[in-house]
Amino acid sequence: MSPPSEPSEPSEPSEPSPPSEPSEPSPPSEPSPPSPGLSPSDGNVRSASTVSPGVHVAVSSALTPLASWNSTVLL
C-alpha cells in the first residue's frame, strides 16, 4: 500500500499545473507591463526621452499622471 502512496504525491504537483492554464489570461497582461514597467522605466524614461522624445510623449500619454512630472522636467 505504501507504493501507491508515492504515486499519490506526484498527483499533487499535477494540481499546480492547472494554475498554469490561468496563465493564458496572462497575455492580456502584456499590455499591463507598461504599468509595472513604469517604475523601472522611470530611469529609462529619461534615457529614452533623450533618444526619442516622441517615445516619451507616447509614454507620458499613457502615464500622464506619473509622466506628467517627468515630462515637465524634460521640457
Instruction: Enumerate residue ranges in the chain where pLDDT < 50.
Output: 10-41, 47-49, 51, 67
Specify the number of domains making up the chain: 1
**pLDDT value at residue 54:** 61
**pLDDT value at residue 22:** 44
Q: Cα 32 to the chain's mean position, in Å?
A: 6
| Residue for grid cell 499622471 | 65
DSSP 1: -
DSSP notation for 27-56: GGGTTSTTTTTHHHHHHHHHHHHHH-HHHH
Other beta carbons less than 10 A from residue 63's beta carbon? 20
Structural domain for 26, as ranges:
2-74
